[in-house]
Amino acid sequence: MSDTNVGSESTILRLIVGLLYPFMLLFGFYVILNGHYTPGGGFQGGSVLASLFVARYVVYPVEDTDTEVLHAIQRVFLSLILIAPTVLLFTGLVARFPHYRGLYLTTMDVLIGVQVGFGLGVAVLRFAFFQGVGKTWRL
Amino acid sequence: MVEVATILLMGVFAALAIHSNVLRLAIIYLAVFSLLAAFLYLLYAAPELAIAEAVIGSGLVTLLYLAALKRNRVYTIGVVNEQQRDHLSDSYISHVERSKALREIRQFFLLREFEVQIVFVSSALDEALNDPAYDLIVAEDGEGFAAFTDDESYAMLELEMMVQMHGSGSAIRFVRHSEEGVV
Are B62 and B78 contained in the same domain? no
Are B115 and B169 contained in the same domain? yes
Domain count, chain A: 1
In terms of Cβ atoms closer than 10 Å to its own Cβ (0-12, 13-18, 19+), residue A122 is: buried
ipTM over 0.85: no
* Residue A1 belongs to a domain: no
Taking alpha carbons only, the member of A75, A65, A40 closest to residue A124 is A65
Residue B70, min C-alpha distance to chain A (Å): 7
Q: What pLDDT score was predicted for residue A9? A: 63
pLDDT above 90 coverage of chain B, percent: 21
Are B119 and B164 contained in the same domain? yes
Are B110 and B91 contained in the same domain? yes
* Residue A102 belongs to a domain: yes
* Residue A85 belongs to a domain: yes
* Residue A26 belongs to a domain: yes
Report how far residue A56's alpha carbon sits from residue B8's, in angstroms, rounded to the nearest whole number. 35
Final residue of a structural domain among B12, B42, B70 = B70
* Residue A5 belongs to a domain: no
Q: What pLDDT score was predicted for residue A134? A: 38
* Residue A118 belongs to a domain: yes
Q: What is the pLDDT of residues B52-62, one digit of tens each?
A: 899 888 888 88
Are B134 and B119 contained in the same domain? yes
- Answer whether A120 sits within 8 Å of B154, measured CB to CB: no
Any alpha helices (H) in chain B, and if so which ranges?
Answer: 2-19, 23-43, 47-52, 61-70, 90-98, 100-111, 125-130, 154-166
* Residue A65 belongs to a domain: yes
Domain that holds residue B90: 74-182
Final residue of a structural domain among B44, B70, B96 = B70
Residue B60, min C-alpha distance to chain A (Å): 7
Residue A18, min C-alpha distance to chain B (Å): 17
- Answer whether A139 sits within 8 Å of B76, measured CB to CB: no
- Answer whether B56 sits within 8 Å of A48, measured CB to CB: no
- Answer whether A39 sits within 8 Å of B55, measured CB to CB: no
Q: Which chain B residues are closer than 8 Å to A4 by Cβ?
A: 70, 73
Q: Which chain B residues are closer than 8 Å to A138 by Cβ?
A: 72, 135, 151, 153, 155
Domain that holds residue A110: 11-128
Q: With 90 as the cut, is the pLDDT of residue A132 above it?
A: no
Average confidence score pLDDT of chain A:
81
Are B78 and B52 contained in the same domain? no
Are B89 and B114 contained in the same domain? yes
